[in-house]
Structures are given as C-alpha cells and as structure tokens.
Amino acid sequence: MIQTTREMQLEHLLNEFNASTRRAALEQLLRAAPTPAPLRGIANMHCHTFFSFNAYGYSPTGLAWLARQQGIDLMGIVDFDVLDAVTEFLDACDSAEVRGSAGIETRVFVPEFARREINSPGEPGVLYHMAIGFTSTTVTPAAQAIIDELRAQSAARNQALIARVNAYLDPVQIDYAADVLPLTPSGNATERHIVVAYIEAAKRTFDQPAAFWASRLGMDTAAIEKALGDSASFQNTVRSKLMKRGGPGYVQPDAGAFPRVERLHELAMLCRALPCAAWLDGMSEGEQAMDELLTLLVNKGVVALNIVPDRNWNLPDPQMAAIKQKKLYEVVALAKEFDLPLNVGTEMNGFGQPIVDDFAAPALAPVRNDFMDGAYFIYGHTLLERHLGMGYQSDWAAAHLPTRAMRNAFYTTVGRRTPPGRAGAPALARLQSAMTPDDVLRCLV
C-alpha cells in the first residue's frame, strides 16, 4: 500500500501525547482510507501502549490503526499498573472496525510460592500477573483506589531505583519529575523510560559518552561505541547492567514489595474483568509445577492464561527452541484441562519484539486455533460487558452459564459472530438482558 506524505504525517500524529490530536488524526485517516486491509487470521492480544511503554511509540489509537492497516483480526492492549488507555483504545477500535480488548498487568506476591521462582526471573514468589476484559478507564471509587495504590507503589519503586543508580552513575544524574515523567503521556513511568532518561543525561554531561558508559557498564569502549549505533540494543544493555539482578540499581524484592495476587483480582471483579495468569516459558521451578500453580490461581479467581508465543519457539538455539516449544504445547494442553482461554501476544514493550506473532509458523500450527479462540473469547466478553453488562462476570452469565466451559464456548462464539464497529451495531441493538444465551446467539447469526 503506497502512502501519501499526508497519510504518513497523520499516522505520526496518532502517537502524539495530546489525546485530541490523536482522535482528530484517526478521523482524517479513516476518511482518506475508508477500506481496511483484508484480515489475515491473526491476533495480538498483549500490546503495551505508550501509557506504560511501547517500544515503537504506539498510542492506543495508533495500535487500533495499526491493526486495521495490517489486517490483524483482533488486538488487545495491556498496560502496567494503569487503565488509562482502555476507553481510548476501545473507542478507536470501534471507529477502525477492529475487534479489541483491554487489560492491566502488574507484579504481585504469591506467598504459597514464596520459595520458588515463577515468571519474574530471580525473584521467588513474585508473579507477573494480569487482568483482561476491562471496558472503561472510568471505574468505581473502590476500583480507582486499587489503581492508585498500584501506581503509587510503582512510582515509589522507580524513585528508589533512581536514587541507587544516580549514586552509581555520578556525575550523570536524573530527576524523576523533570527527566522521566515528561517521557510519558500520563505520568506512569517504567524502567525503560528511566533508561532513556539516563542515556539522554549522559549525552548532556559528556560530548563523547562512550568512555563513561564503558567504565560504568564494565565494557570495552570500542564495544560501547558500536552499541551506541543501535539505540534499541544499547537501551537493553543499560537496563540489564544497571537495573536487573546483580546491577547497582537492583534490590531483591521481599514479600512487601508488591501487592498480594488477591488485590489485583479484587480490582478485576470490581470492574467485571477477568483475572488472567501469565506464563513465561516453563523453565523456572514454579512453572515446572504449573498444575499446582494454576490450581492455586484458579481457586483465587483466575479464568484465563496469557502466553507470549514468540519467545517460546522463535529462538536461535535449535535445542532450546525444541525444549521451549514442547513446554508451550504442554501449557496449552494444561490450560484446556483447566478451561482457561488463552490471551496471546508479543507485548511490544521491548525492542525487537514483533508487531504480531507469525501465525503461519509451523511451530504454532498445533496451537494456532487455540490462540484464535482465546482472542475471540475475550473480544466476545468485552463486547457484551461493554454494551449490555452481560460479560463473563455478570449476574446474567452466572444465571445462564454456570461453568467456565459454558462461558468460554459462549463468549468465543459471540466474538466470532459479531463484527466490530458499525457493522456489529444493528445486532447488538437487538439484544436484551432478558434473553437466554441461545437467544443471543440467534440474534448474532
């Protein structure tokens, strides 16, 4: 598809920090290109927006447009610690005729696994954990209080990290308010924003910062000079050397560093969203006991499982690729046993991560249908909850669909049958809360 200069300018505006600018750019792009790209039978249900960190700078609106232009059938956003992107993304998906969903991710503590590493490397008991299927940025005061807690805890960890790294990198210093927060649209910073701020501070402090970085990172100056030519790779190096385990900015978390898993589940239930476990690669002690872990988490309210497929098969070492591919198949099979739909995606919060998984890869053939079913499931829940209050956690679902298996099948069918945006509006208008699930599905044929 050949783009005009004006279209490229508008696409750039989609990712500006000003929300009105983003909205106006999308409207103009839709008028200029009213026909979406053909759908390719693919999905990315785990994309971070720039409200936490997107490696390519995408806003919620920018991601909706990306899906439309690239023929991505379904797209879901997930941001760390905030719901700032939810309403914007779902509204943009309606306009762009994209099936969308929205979620949140944070780190929590699981005391039952306090002695076992799970999916946060080197941090026993700490779990990257999610909730998906939110329908609005605006939530009840009780839910907002939990979001405020998550945000405040994240900010406190960031400022403590900066204090430690400032001491190590002196004379290169950054200030959280002055140097980091301006890199974000709503003040929700991550380690990756902090890395960018330090690299910029070094440029301000030294005309030739390579020697400085070589001394602080324990690397050869020539290697640093070469690395500086690849900003994405260099950012990853700085983060790894300074902020991860063994680095001067790292502190081993204890049981009080993160909220309990139940706190995130409380947020999900207040918003009628879906607690979602997150699987890394099956290699840690905790994930080698995945049956035990899922039993625990399901009993605490988990109803879905997140997977990042690319890191579990697309590896340079054939032997490791084979091992992780086998573990991928095993966890998909285990999710079926637990009646947990899958939420899959690439994250897009690290440089080099793909825009969407390679669904045509032979390694994904055995699980591709499971991936797509999960994507349609979460869209189906989002659609009915957003428009009619008849989502997975509703009283209506409890009355008519008492088991997870029944709900999974129903919302997956809803997601498949209901087109996004204007095309699906007439069918949604016919639905009523007095209907049975069979009535609903008949209206959506």
Total number of residues shown for the chain: 445
Residue 9 Cα distances to 17, 95, 355, angstroms: 15, 19, 21
pLDDT given for residue 2 in this prediction: 64
Which residue would you say has higher pLDDT here, 360 or 253? 360
| For residue 1, pLDDT beyond 80 | no
Sorting pLDDT into bands at 50, 70 and 90, what band is 5? confident
Distance, CA of 6 to CA of 42 (rounded, Å): 29
Sorting pLDDT into bands at 50, 70 and 90, what band is 165? very high
> Across residues 431-435, what is the average pLDDT?
96
pLDDT given for residue 232 in this prediction: 85
pLDDT given for residue 74 in this prediction: 98
> Across residues 194-211, what is the average pLDDT?
95
pLDDT given for residue 191 in this prediction: 94
> Across residues 155-171, what is the average pLDDT?
97
pLDDT > 90 in the chain, percent:
93
Tokens of 34: 């009213």
Is residue 139 within a helix (H) or strand (E), and if so which, with residue range? none
Residue 321's contacts (CB-CB under 8 Å, 6 or more residues apart) are 313, 314, 315, 363
| For residue 323, pLDDT beyond 70 | yes
Is residue 344 within a helix (H) or strand (E), and if so which, with residue range? strand 342-344
Output the average pLDDT for the chain. Answer: 96
DSSP 3-state of 391: coil
pTM for the complete prediction?
A: 0.95
Sorting pLDDT into bands at 50, 70 and 90, what band is 352? confident
Domains of the chain by range and CATH? 36-139+271-443 (3.20.20.140), 150-243 (no CATH)
Residue recorded with tokens 């008492």: 402
Query: Are 49 and 79 spatial neighbours (Cβ–Cβ below 8 Å)?
Result: yes
Helical ranges in 229-345 per DSSP H: 231-243, 261-270, 290-299, 318-337
pLDDT > 70 in the chain, percent:
100
> Across residues 263-278, what is the average pLDDT?
98
Beta partners for residue 108, in sequence order:
127
Sorting pLDDT into bands at 50, 70 and 90, what band is 403? very high
> Across residues 187-215, what is the average pLDDT?
95
> Across residues 6-26, what is the average pLDDT?
96
Beta strands in 133-290 (DSSP E): 274-279
DSSP 3-state of 216: helix
Per residue, the 3-state secondary structure of 336-352, as one string, reads: HHCCCCEEECCECCCCC
Residue 129 has, within 13 A of its CA and on its CB side, a CA count of 30
CA-based nearest residue to 235, from 206, 197, 209: 197
> Across residues 360-381, what is the average pLDDT?
98
> Across residues 267-296, what is the average pLDDT?
98
Residue recorded with tokens 């005309």: 207
| For residue 282, pLDDT beyond 60 | yes
